Amino acid sequence: MTLSDEVIALRPWSRDDAGFMVDAFTDPAIRRYNGVLDRRGYPAPPLSIAGAEAVIDEFTANWQAFATTATPSGVAFAITDARSGDLIGCCGVDDWSKADVAQFGYWIAASARGRGYATRAAILLTRWLFELGAARVFLTIVAGNEASVAVARRAGFEYEGTMRSHGVWQGERCDVMRFAALPHEWPMRGPGESDRATESP
């Protein structure tokens, strides 16, 4: 399955992408905001090729489960340049609840940031989740991650509040912000809205 707005494309991960994933997870921002943390907020060791392949195999298994259950929990897309096919980042569904509430996340490789790719990916993924029947889609963002907050706002998500001391990073408690979109009020419902959403003010 592929989703595209002709600027970026979202496609399932392949084992051939393992090297890109290994390189991306050396980035401190990805390790903090998207990496696996222990209960004290310390990141896991950097990924090896074998470790990245194991992550991608898990994504593949989640896609196979989705084909049976129609519940996309754990499915992940590689974000690519729609023209060149170059890898840019990742977005995926963290959870789909029994109440049809979906949570997702995203990351962009350092070399591809600042071009609106994350906003486009968030819009494409949100539209797909609503098409699947999500009643609500939400994001949680660590307070201080202003780049991700800007993506959420540009993608049409509403700020709903801050969960105080909800997360932990290297032994220090941190606040986590919550943003959400509802299908009947989401401003990016139309297929052409992603272009306007990524324009600079």
> What is the 3-state composition of the chain as percent helix, strand, coil, each rounded to the nearest 5?
35, 30, 35
**So what's the pLDDT on residue 184?**
95
**pLDDT tens-digit readout, 172-188:** 999 999 999 999 999 98
In angstroms, the CA 32 to CA 34 distance is 6
**pLDDT tens-digit readout, 116-160:** 999 999 999 999 999 999 999 999 999 999 999 999 999 999 999
Distance separating the N- and C-terminal Cα atoms of the chain: 33
Domains and CATH numbers, the chain: 3-197 (3.40.630.30)
**So what's the pLDDT on residue 159?**
98
Contacting residues for 31 by C-beta, under 8 A, at least 6 apart: 25, 43, 46
* DSSP-assigned beta bridge partners for residue 4: 9
**Span 19-35, average pLDDT:** 94
**So what's the pLDDT on residue 112?**
96
